[in-house]
Amino acid sequence: MSGGDMAKPLLGHRSTEGDPSVVPAAGRTIGVLGSGDFARSLAIRLVCSGFKVVVGSRNPKRKACLFPPAAEVTFQAEAVKKTDVIFVAVFREHYSTLCDLADVLAGKILVDVSNNTEINHHKESNAEYLASLFPACTVVKGFNVVSAWTLQSGARDGNKQVLICSNSQEAKRTVAEIAQVMGFTPVDMGCMSSAREIENIPLRLLPAWKIPIFLALGLFLCFFTYNLVRQVIHPYIREQKNKFYKIPVEVVNTTLPCVAYVMLSLVYLPGVLAACLQLYYGTKYRRFPDWLDQWLQHRKQIGLLSFFCAALHAVYSLCLPMRRSHRYQLIETAVKQAMEKKMTIWVEEEVWRMEIYISVGIIALGLLSLLAITSLPSIANSLNWREFSFIQSTLGFIALVISTLHTLTYGWSRAFDENQYKFYLPPTYTLTLLVPCTVILAKVAFSLPCIQHRLLRIRRGWEKGRSTDFLGFLTAKTSCFLSVWINLSTEL
């Protein structure tokens, strides 16, 4: 079954015929121990990339039919003898059963591809454990971050990076070369002590998203409860009115935009705080506190979640007039009017208010979509740094300003209407305005020529105390006062 005329690689061998001392990466023989999912996918990929593959199995006869004909499937010891680089596609628990092979394995490169089921499950990493079992071998950790599926379907989709570490530079280079020929991007993670970190990576679920997602869920819960009390519980308790039908659409559609709007302002707040600190320190060389660092690094995720909520809000809003409850209310109003013999209910102000806030909301969502699209790596890569930062920083801030206009025109004079205060709770939109308006005011303050001038100087490397002209002294005083004021107002 193995060998034969089907043993043709899909990709041609790289031409290195001129130099016989160099074993070309493609064309060399690679060993694979194990015949499971990972071993099979790996073998297929290696064959397709132009390598010769020998698979070592405890039961080669039965397993051979699972592999491409171009791969040779034989006993473990046989396979190991034919090659210098061996992928160990066996679970850690079974490493010790390979100890009989120690003699034939001596001096060869072992690639540990294993993963764990829990973070830091064992005292030492799997790769270090393998190295301790085979002291005469050179162990390289790698390929555990790609799935058997990625190996088979090609690196086209999915993650292209393969993290590699080893104590031997030589062995690491060999494995990196193999990864490259297979179409992956090897990433050097240093020496063997990084193995544990590499093994933990596939176990972490969306690490950068954890905090932003909890933030979004937390805000959602708070606003949802608040709106529930105002829109459903209050009429039920005060007037015995059953408004529970509002929960699936209306309460949700008051909650989602509030989360979107507040999250959007939380994307631009840390930049403002950072500028305040820079003004206060009088230098850009002092480190920000950890919480601010973390916050700055999570802005992308917070922004994308904000966009997600805003998009849902838009769809919910479009569906508002579609509902049966809305139709009944329309008819009831019409009947009431007919009884009262009123001809028109047209209120010019209300009409304009709605036309404006809908239009403005659509523009804000359009701008946010632009931000979301440019955060896709393929599109971000096609923009230069200035274009990217213009879209992210300037257009994003404009989206925040426009969302504020949307919210203000929607809310209009309702904040001053006593009937809107259910259980003394003000309308939801008034609460959401707090952080965004602070951010906008702070940005406006920073654009005052005097402060902007100083901020720009600091960001170009100027430091307080190094130069002491009178103008510098004056601006220091003003901006100090302003930054304290801004800090205070954000805390409030």
Give me the 232-271 binding string for ligand HEM, x by CB under 6 A, dash otherwise: ---------------------xx--xx-xx--x-------
**Residue 453: contacted member of Cu ion, ligand FAD, ligand NDP, none (CB under 5 to 8 Å, by partner type):** Cu ion
Tokens encoding 243:
């408004």
Nearer to ligand NDP, 91 or 220 (CB): 91
Query: With CB cut-offs between 5 and 8 Å by kind, which of ligand NDP, ligand FAD, Cu ion, none does residue 58 bind?
Result: ligand NDP
Using CB under 6 A as the criterion, what x/- string covers residues 363-382 for binding ligand FAD? Answer: -----x--xx--x-------
Q: Count the site residues for ligand HEM by CB under 6 A.
A: 24
Residue 313 in the binding site for ligand HEM (CB under 6 A): yes
How many residues belong to the chain? 492
| Window 357-386: residues binding ligand HEM (CB under 6 A) | 358, 361-362, 364-365, 368
d(CA 475, CA 480): 8
Q: Which of 320, 450, 456, 484 binds Cu ion (CB under 5 A)?
A: 450
Question: Residue 429 CB, nearest distance to ligand FAD (Å)?
Answer: 20
173 lies in the binding site for Cu ion (CB under 5 A): no
Residue 296: CA atoms inside 13 Å, Cβ hemisphere, count?
Answer: 13
> Which residue has its beta carbon closest to ligand FAD?
303
Nearest to 458 by CA among 483, 439, 436: 483
Give the whole-angstrom CA distance, residue 478 versus residue 69.
78
Write out the residues near ligand NDP by the rule CB under 6 A: 34-39, 57-59, 63, 89-91, 94, 97, 113-115, 144, 147-148
Nearer Cβ to ligand NDP, position 91 or 244? 91
Part of the chain binding ligand FAD (CB under 6 A), chosen from 173-181, 297-305, 317-325, 422-430: 297-305
Place of tokens 């919480």: 291
Q: Write the DSSP assignment of 314-380 as a string of letters.
A: HHHHHHGGGSHHHHHHHHHHHHHHHHTT------HHHHHHHHHHHHHHHHHHHHHHHHHHHTSHHHH
- Mapping DSSP onto H, E and C, the string for 438-459 reads HHHHHHHHHCCHHHHHHHHHHH
406 touching ligand HEM, by CB under 6 A: yes
E strand or H helix at 222: helix 210-228
Among ligand NDP, ligand HEM, ligand FAD, none, what does residue 407 contact (CB within 5–8 Å per kind)? ligand HEM
* Gyration radius from the chain CA atoms: 32
Using the contact rule CB under 6 A, the part of the chain among 105-113, 147-155, 304-312, 414-422 near ligand FAD is 304-312
- Name the residue with the smallest CB distance to ligand NDP: 36
- Binding mask of the shown chain, residues 384 to 403, with x at each position contacting ligand FAD by CB under 6 A: -----x--xx--x-------
- The rounded distance, in Å, linking the Cα atoms of 341 and 426 is 35
Contacts of 316 (CB under 8 A, 6+ apart): 249, 252, 253, 256
In the three-class reduction of DSSP (H, G, I as helix; E, B as strand; rest coil), residue 434 is classed as helix
CA distance 325 to 242: 13
CA distance 435 to 167: 51
- Using CB under 6 A as the binding rule, whether residue 304 contacts ligand FAD is answered as yes
Q: Which does 169 bind (CB under 5 to 8 A by kind): ligand FAD, ligand NDP, Cu ion, none?
A: none
Summarize as ranges the residues that interact with ligand HEM (CB under 6 A): 253-254, 257-258, 260-261, 264, 310, 313-314, 317, 358, 361-362, 364-365, 368, 403, 406-407, 410, 428-429, 432
